Amino acid sequence: MSFSNFLETEILDHVFGGAAYTAPTTLYIALYTGAPNDAGGGTEVSGTDYARQTSTFTTSGDTTSNAGAIEFPTAGDSWGTVTHVGVFDALTTGNLLAYGTLTASKAVESGDVFRIIAGALDITLD
């Protein structure tokens, strides 16, 4: 996963500029059918019953991963083909913090439940 321009600026300013960055208390996972980028953008899922889901992360070394499974509500209609995920600091709108491409895309149809297993969402710094 990559950091967004927003988070990169906040981290640089926190470490080198002296302006404290307060980490969000809750992180929200978003699904995308169109790729986001450093500036945001992309096409977030907007189908019936879709909502960003919360996640906690566990850090070991230079990698942080989702601590538990992330399960989205049962799709009330077709959500399209999910290809990317994003991490936000708010349930709606908010700031994109990190984003990445899924290793496999998934067409989500009415009645499907989209899940990300524990430990499958990795954010790595090197």
DSSP state letters, 94-106: --EEEEEEEEEEE
**What percentage of the chain reaches a pLDDT higher than 70?**
99
The reported pLDDT for the residue numbered 18 is: 87
* Cβ density class 72-105: b for 16+ within 10 Å, e for less: beebeeebbebbbbbbbbeeeeeebbbbbebeee
Range 120-124 average pLDDT: 95
User: Is the separation of the CB atoms in 87 and 28 below 8 Å?
Assistant: yes
| For residue 20, pLDDT beyond 90 | yes
pTM over the 0.85 mark? yes
| C-alpha separations of 91 from 24, 29, 37, 97 in Å | 11, 9, 19, 13
- pLDDT value of residue 113: 98
Closest CA to 2 of 32, 26, 37: 37
pLDDT in tens, 57-94: 999 999 999 999 999 999 999 999 999 999 999 999 99
Mean pLDDT of 103-114: 97
